[in-house]
Amino acid sequence: MGNTCLVVMYHYVRDSATTPFPEIRALPPALIERQLDWLQREHHLISLHELEAAMDGHARLPPNAALVTFDDGFIDHYEAVFPILRRRGVSGVFFLAQRPYEASPRVLGVHKTHFLLAHLGAEAFAAAVLREHEPALVAVDAGREDVFGADRWEHADERTIKHLLNYGLPFDEAERILDALFARHLGPQESFARELYLGEPMIAGMAAAGMTFGYHTRSHRMLSRLDVEEQERELRDGVAWIRRLTGQARVSFCYPWGGPKTYTTGTVQILAGNGYSVAFTSVRRRVDLSRDGRFELPRIDARDLPPYVTGEPATPPGEPS
Ligand SMILES: [Zn+2]
């Protein structure tokens, strides 16, 4: 068993019911405590540094190794997760996209979708998207039978609308629509982003206390939809930026969405060429050092582990899409 590691992935960690967005699917802090109780009882929690050392052949993993990772750089991770991990002496890995840290901070498209869905509900959100740009939907529909006819939009579910925004529409068009709807329903993006994402002093404080940070692209676009130059632009600045924020020597990476079709062999080459240490997917199984390449390390969603799989009632945790 010294050759495998259970890498757990988390997203939103908050008591959503007490926030202005009760529909955001988050893991409540009390449940992450229970999951960590289980992880610490059944596993040996390691740091990313220990996993990297094992991949480099400098050390062996302990039996039942496990590592906890947190995507998207939410302020949740400072407020709810960091105190818990510090109290338990656990080192977590936190993945940041850069766009929220640029001159005028922006909410990532994936999160605009989550908050608009939470605010409007799936049907009203789908209808709003349709109204915002009917010609784009017609154009998409004309070229592709597998996408969604306008008539089907009346009862669009969450999956359908996410698929359209993530895969169906050109990036610029999806972004334009989300920006318009966000401004209309949720207000200015800049102040929302400042309340949603970790601040730089928080990141520095967490790093100083033994937490590790990795990169999650510049703007959280689906890398497999980009050509090589566009992917290069999404990935090239991450190592230097995370080093500057944290003082870390090594910088890991995590693919947005992270399924097998969300990146390409070209992505892996760019990561290797730009000095990243390892990269994580969201393919749901344990890391096996005897077969997994360092730029395609699988992770298991928190919802696939106790207390969620014991049959006990639980609020569903956050989702990767
Ligand atoms: Zn993400």
Sign of CA dihedral 194, 275, 217, 77: negative
CB 131 within 8 A of CB 142: no
Query: How far does residue 73's CA lie from ligand 1's centre (Å)?
Result: 9
Extended strands (E) in the chain: 4-10, 44-45, 65-71, 93-96, 212-215, 252-254, 279-280, 287-288, 300-301
Q: How many Å is the Cα radius of gyration of the chain?
A: 20
Q: What is the pLDDT of residue 158?
A: 84
> How far does the centroid of ligand 1 lie from the alpha carbon of residue 320, in Å?
7
DSSP character at residue 150: G
Share of the chain above pLDDT 70, in %: 89
DSSP lists the bridge partners of residue 9 as 69, 301
DSSP 34-54: HHHHHHHHHSEE--HHHHHHH
Q: Residue 256: which residues within 8 A CB-CB, separation 6 or more?
A: 97, 110, 216, 217, 220, 221, 222, 223, 262
Average pLDDT for residues 268-285, to the nearest whole number?
Answer: 97
What is the 65 CA–ligand 1 centroid distance (Å)? 24
Distance 258 CA to ligand 1 centre (A): 8
Dist CA 52 CA 65 (whole Å): 13
Q: How remote is the CA of residue 104 from the centroid of ligand 1, in Å? A: 20
Q: Which two tokens stand for residue 213?
A: 């940070």
What is the pLDDT of the chain when averaged over all its residues? 91
Q: Across residues 156-173, what is the average pLDDT?
A: 88
Instruction: Tell how far the Cα of 165 is from the centroid of ligand 1, in angstroms.
Output: 15
Ligand 1 centroid–CA 216 distance in Å is 7
What CA–CA distance (Å, rounded) separates 9 from 32?
A: 11
Q: What is the mean pLDDT of residues 99-108?
A: 94
Task: Find the mean pLDDT for residues 105-128.
Answer: 94
**CA 11 to centroid of ligand 1, rounded, Å:** 8
309 alpha carbon, distance to own chain's centre: 22
**pLDDT given at position 168:** 87
CA–centroid distance, 220 to ligand 1, in Å, is 7
pLDDT bin (cut points 50, 70, 90) of residue 314 is very low
Kindly write down the DSSP assignment for every residue of 54-75, as one continuous string. HHTTSS-PPTTEEEEEEES-BT
